[in-house]
Chains A and B, each alone.
Chain A
Amino acid sequence: MIQVNDLHFAYGSNTQDTLRGLNFQIDDGEIFGFLGPSGAGKSTTQKILIGILKNFRGSVSVNGLDLQKLNSEFYESIGVAFETPNLYTKFTALENLEFFAQFYSGATRNPMELLAAVGLEEAAKTRVSDYSKGMKVRLNFCRSLLNNPGLVFLDEPTAGLDPVNLRKMESLILAEKARGNTICITTHDMHVAETLCDRVAFIVDGEISLIDAPRKLKLQHGQRFLDLEYRDGDGLETTSIPMDNLGNNKTFQNILNNHFIETIHSREASLEDVFIKTTGRSLQ
């Protein structure tokens, strides 16, 4: 669905490229994440994919359309939620959604149903200026889905959300995937990338160092050990046991049979560990 080859981009008269030779492909129906620290080039990449930034070098096609030959029809089938909520602040949430819905020629989703899905139905008639940051993020998400897009771009979709709404947002994004839609997320939140993305691209200083499935990366970069905490009399003991041939491991069997186990964890790497190991940079 999205094919990018040797993408370079420089802002204005900058001599140094912000994006330096990106290559990736995003398949139909997958959630693809760009994971990287602020200023890495995630949002710039997204702005190129949605046709805002021109004058890039390399080739970019979205839904088979060469982005150098883009026209406004393109926007009938994509949805975008920017990191900074961009809404009419002196209008209510419902007025905002009803206004934007008028631009699409195809059927649009019911604004009230969208607002209800993100828990804003009771604030539908409240002006956006009275919304909190998290409410604006949720409303922004609703706007991106108005035209029933097959391809959705979400820039930091969970920024500013409390834990309850964070989980709600995650389940809504997964619901979009279940409808067969393709979702492209940019985030610096490792948890979001781990929970939602089928594949992630690590991006630092305008370069992609790695693209793979989070689960595969965590296993590849982890160690095949189990870490246990268990009670031995009054004391708390810890031990690590190789996972290979675990069923025949005498120590493991002894702990299982004779001790009270408090915690047991496999030692796969966290996505952040993999990120730091691969790029030499942290996500903050």
Chain B
Amino acid sequence: MRLLAAMVQDIRFQFRHGFYYAYAILTILYIIVLRLLPGTMVYPALTLILFTDICTLGFFFIGAIVLLERGQNLTESLFITPLRLHEYLLAKILSFLFLATLSALLIMLGASIGGKDLMWFVFGAVFSALIYTLFGLIFAARARHVNDYFVKSLGAGLLISLPILAYVRLFDTPLFYLFPTRATLILLDVLGTDYALSEKLFSVASLLIWFLILGSWVYQRFNKYVRHPA
């Protein structure tokens, strides 16, 4: 009940702060681009667009949401109610996941894209959104204002996005398999490229492991810097 209430409020909060409008405009823009591209370029473009849409935007937007909340001193008032920290975090993550997944699905539907590996793709999209949201939350926990957040998170954002160099065939190294971005790019690419089952399973496992590591890290940081700041 508390989780549901917090999640619904987060969705309304994001709506009233214009996040849904921003996503609607970007989604329409992406659909138009995908429809204008020649057939052979649609799938690679879709992978890059969704990577940008789900991961990069998620990374920055979740930070903006948390900082908007902090600007209104809302975390103080939420944590003097029976709302638990994990409920607060889950509400934030699920509400943003809802927005990112909705946008991703609309892009696919709008560009009439589908395929036999849809389940892998959807898992990749959802968990990638989750992981980048968690990355954003790690930096948002201590940032005092938007500029502070961008400065602190930009370097880390660029670093974890390095495997995109392999995707566009500029540079590759086996070390990229340690990055969550590698798994994201594989799963978002399954509709247009044939990957071995082992590679898809590895990607799923990689995202799950990253999810557990980052989830616990976010909880600890919020508990220390937001729930009990001193």
Contact = CB atoms under 8 A, between A and B. Distances in A.
Nearest to B1: A102
Interface size classification for chain B = 20 to 34
A72 B84 contact: yes
A84 interface: yes
A52 B9 CA distance: 23
A260 interface: no
A52 B72 contact: no
B79 interface: yes
Contacts, number: 68
Contacts of A131: none
A102 B2 CA distance: 7
Contact of B5 (A85, A91, A99): A99
A105 B82 CA distance: 9
Contacts of B76: 52, 82, 86
Contacts of A91: 12, 16
B interface SS class: loop
Nearest to B71: A89
A102 B82 contact: no
A135 to B, nearest CB: 15
Given A12-B230, A99-B9, A78 B80 contact: yes
A54 interface: yes
Nearest to A84: B73
Q: Which 9 A-B pairs have the closest CB atoms?
A: A86-B73, A102-B5, A86-B77, A103-B81, A90-B16, A80-B80, A75-B82, A54-B228, A72-B82
16 contacts: A53-B228, A53-B229, A53-B230, A72-B84, A75-B80, A75-B81, A75-B82, A82-B76, A84-B73, A86-B73, A86-B77, A87-B74, A88-B13, A102-B1, A104-B81, A143-B77
Interface of B: 1-2, 5, 9, 12-13, 16-17, 72-74, 76-77, 79-84, 227-230
